[in-house]
Every structure is written in C-alpha cells, then in structure tokens.
Amino acid sequence: MGLLDLLKQRDINVWLEEFKETKNAVLLDVRTIEEVREERIPGSINIPLDEINSVANKIPDKSTPLFVHCFSGARSGRAVDSLKKMGYTNATNIGGISSYKGEVERG
C-alpha cells in the first residue's frame, strides 16, 4: 500500500477525484435528511443509514461503483458493510463531509 492509498483511505477529497473519473459511479450520502438539508456535496444521492435497505430502489445494479460518505466516516463504514451483505460489489467508504474542502449545496 502506497502513500496515495493511505491518503485515499482518510481523505474524502482524494476519493472524490476518483469518483469523478469513475464511469457510472454514485456518490451516496448516508446522513440524515436534516443533515443533508444543511449542506451536501453536489451530485450526491441521499439514502440515510437507517433506510439503507431501500438502496435497490434507487441503485438496482449491484455492480455500480458506490462512493459512500457521511459526516465523519463512521456511518458510511456501517453502510458499506450493509451494502456488501446485500450483494453490492463495489462500495467504498470515502469518509466524512467534515473533511470536504469543495463547494456544497444548502437547503
């Protein structure tokens, strides 16, 4: 594992660059609806962690590259575990929006 791999594990900004370059990828925000209303990364889809079992309604293809985030990375880690148990083969925990340095949408 190289230095870039270590950075990707810890830094949502690096992961988002990979997301942008990945064909058919989905940026999945598993925070609550209230948190997402405060701020969200443009282009993300919100499915709160407690509703993760409904993911197939929005993302039926289980091979879709999923870049999963929350506020700090803890909930997104649990979401990735759940997604893998549901058969999603390409889900990655990219950490938390708390470290995000780009533009956000509000409201």
Domain ranges of the chain: 3-99
pLDDT of residue 8: 45
10 residue type, one letter: R
Percent of the chain with pLDDT over 70: 91
> Are 79 and 53 in contact, with CB atoms under 8 Å apart?
no
Number of H helices, E strands in the chain: 5, 4
Q: Which of 85, 105, 86, 83 is nearest to 94 (CA)?
A: 83
pLDDT of residue 7: 45
Percent of the chain with pLDDT over 90: 89
90 residue type, one letter: N
**Which residues participate in catalysis according to the annotation?**
70
What is the C-alpha radius of gyration for the chain, rounded to an integer number of angstroms? 13
- pLDDT band of residue 5 (cuts 50, 70, 90) is low
What class, spelled out in words, does domain 3-99 have in CATH? alpha beta
- Per-residue pLDDT, averaged over 86-103, amounts to 96
